[in-house]
Amino acid sequence: MRPAHVSPPSLTRSTLTSRETGKSMSSPQAQAPLTRRGIPLERDLRVLALGSFANRFGAGAVMTTSALYFTRQVGFSAAEVALALSAAAIVGIVVQVPAGHLGDTRGPRRVLTICMVGAALASALPVLARTPWQLALLLGLLSLFERSAGSVQQGVIAQLATGGRGVLFKAYLRAVTNTAIGLGSVFGGAALVIDESWAYISVFLLNAVFTGFAAWNSTRLPDLPAYVRIEGEPRLAVLRDWPYVVIVTITGLFSIHFFVMELGLALYISQRTAAPPVMVAVLLIINTACVAFFQVRLSRRADSVEAGARALVRGAVWIAAGFAIVSLADRGDATFAIAVLVVGSLVHVVGEMIGSGGQWGLQMGLAPHERQGQYQGFAGLGFSVIAVVGPPIVTLLCVEMGETGWLILAAMMLVIAAVSVPASRWALASRERYGVVTHSG
């Protein structure tokens, strides 16, 4: 369906690609392997992977330590830290689409480098905060640069990983970043053991150094051409592209399962089951290892819009089954609870990996190729909004309602995924009708 009062982007310049037919690309590029011995074969993709690894390594160290530093060393309350993090999250929501648009129109590599330099300079500043308002301000500044860089990088990925490799490369990057976060958390764990201010501050400085390396690394990327907006075309056309808005809403709602397993599961284990609290860490390690080893393999069948919707359905079935199994953990003793939690988490992570490929297939496949920064920035809003509203919903269902809540979440995942199939066909038809060139990989 054509959005009201706006022509789909680039109608006058476009020809339909095989992505719009919903079929996988069959070019030699698509058939060639993406990596050899775990390393991307193409130089530009290796540069992207290296930068992502460095960036998330530092982030993993900070994620492990920041909350305890601000509460135990600086003296903020948990509520004050949470409020500052929420304020930073709101900043991230506001800047994502404009940053992606800026990358499209000013040159993706140039804008990415500027944002990464800003993130490197702002990475260590939160340690200077001595009041909650200072913390919120400094975290907001960091979020401004980090979220902007993330939006622009998604557009860079979509432009460089062409020929049917977009979804696979995002799957590869997810495996890389999960590994980096896990390794970074080891350094964060060392700071927790030392439990001194200098050790925590060192973690923030480490993050700044690695982010600075990622900023330098981005200068090695090719200078991608900027998009020239035609006269009369809206600056942020994605906001009027209703089919894409609907798809992002669906994929955003689908993302709630991440918060179920990261937040809801931890609270559920500690408050409603006989399993020891250490199971939270064990299950996180299992999830991280599975993603690192199998994410690429389980994303191979999501390289088109229609295939992405089908992957979302398959993933939802596994996720729903995992939720249903986990819901039984409060019915028995510690041994029973541990067994059920491990099995349920393994089933869930299969759905997580399949569903992630489906989300990327939809978000990348329906976006105009020359405006990937703006569109991928908007796609990220779905996850960002759920990050704000999801935690209280997850807490209510997983902890307060127990087994019934887990089953409600399972049903929600199935319904959301089922809706994605007709919605993706409608969105795809809107591209075919006007011949919009979308991402070919």
Q: pLDDT tens digits, the chain, 441 residues: what are they?
A: 333 333 333 333 333 333 333 444 444 444 567 777 778 888 999 999 999 999 999 988 888 788 778 888 898 887 788 788 878 888 888 888 888 888 888 888 999 999 999 999 999 999 999 999 999 999 999 999 998 998 898 888 878 877 667 778 888 888 898 889 888 888 888 888 888 899 999 999 999 999 999 999 999 999 887 766 666 566 677 778 889 999 999 999 999 998 888 778 888 888 899 998 878 778 878 888 898 888 888 887 777 888 899 999 999 999 999 999 999 999 999 999 999 999 999 999 999 999 999 998 898 888 887 677 778 878 888 888 887 788 788 888 988 898 999 999 999 999 999 999 999 999 988 876 544 545 444
Residue 113: the pLDDT is: 95
- Strand, coil or helix: 103: helix
Bridge partners, 368 (sequence order): 438
DSSP state of 36: E
Alpha helices in 228-369 (DSSP H): 242-254, 256-259, 265-272, 279-294, 305-326, 334-365
Residue 218: the pLDDT is: 95
Burial (0-12, 13-18, 19+ Cβ within 10 Å), 15: exposed
State which fold the 41-222 domain adopts.
Growth Hormone; Chain: A; (1.20.1250)
Interatomic CA distance for residues 71 and 279, integer angstroms: 24
State which fold the 238-441 domain adopts.
Growth Hormone; Chain: A; (1.20.1250)
Closest listed residue to residue 49, CA positions, set 183, 187, 218: 218
Residue 170: the pLDDT is: 84
Interatomic CA distance for residues 209 and 131, integer angstroms: 25
Interatomic CA distance for residues 204 and 194, integer angstroms: 15
Amino acid identity, position 369? H
Interatomic CA distance for residues 387 and 49, integer angstroms: 25
Domain locations along the chain? 41-222, 238-441
Bridge partners, 40 (sequence order): 35
Pair type for strands 39-40 and 35-36: antiparallel
Closest listed residue to residue 314, CA positions, set 420, 214, 402: 420
Give the global pTM: 0.74
Each residue of 124-147: b (16+ CB within 10 Å) or e?
A: bbbbebeebeebbbbbbbbbbbbb
Interatomic CA distance for residues 167 and 302, integer angstroms: 7
Q: How is residue 104 written in tokens? A: 């499209």
